């Protein structure tokens, strides 16, 4: 599990709005840490707030631990970055074979559009899956 600390700023039914105290997983100073927290502070000074599941019914002002299941971030990154890149290259190569340079450009744009549509479909389809949503833990 990936954990990060935050403070609840609002409660909306079974969800809570959490202002994150950290911009990364908080393992920057541990062995194998990526330093994302340090980079996050450099490029994003505004507080980050997220709507997360609140199964422990924490109240406004509580300091909580927000967790997300192992593999969720990696899987999301592969789909969000890898799939569009692959679609771009396949579209460009296919278009190039059919119509040269103009076909390559059209194929690349078509590949990106197709990737966006596929990703949007899966985002809508998996939006309610509890296992991939961040939530508050004890």
pLDDT at 120: 93
Residue 9 — pLDDT band, cuts 50, 70, 90?
A: very high
Per-residue model confidence as pLDDT tens digits over 26-70: 556 666 666 555 555 666 666 688 888 888 988 898 899 888 888
Q: Where are the domains of the chain?
A: 2-68, 70-131
Per-residue model confidence as pLDDT tens digits over 62-95: 899 888 888 888 888 888 999 999 999 999 999 9
The DSSP symbol for 119 reads: H
Average pLDDT, stretch 94-112?
95
Report helix, strand and coil shares of the chain as percent, to nearest 5: 50, 20, 30
Distance, first Cα to last Cα, the chain: 13
Q: E strands within 13-134?
A: 15-20, 49-53, 63-68
């Amino acid at each position: 599990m990936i954990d990060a600390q935050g403070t609840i700023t609002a409660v909306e039914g079974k969800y809570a709005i959490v202002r994150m105290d950290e911009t990364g997983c908080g393992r920057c100073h541990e062995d194998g840490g990526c330093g994302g927290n340090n980079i996050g502070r450099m490029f994003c000074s505004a507080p980050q707030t997220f709507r997360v599941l609140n199964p422990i019914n924490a109240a406004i002002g509580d300091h909580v631990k927000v967790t997300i299941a192992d593999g969720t971030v990696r899987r999301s990154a592969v789909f969000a970055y890898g799939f569009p890149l692959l679609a771009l290259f396949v579209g460009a190569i296919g278009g190039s074979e059919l119509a040269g340079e103009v076909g390559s450009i059209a194929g690349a744009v078509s590949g990106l559009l197709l990737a966006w549509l596929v990703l949007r479909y899966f985002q809508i389809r998996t939006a309610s899956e509890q296992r991939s949503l961040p939530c508050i833990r004890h």
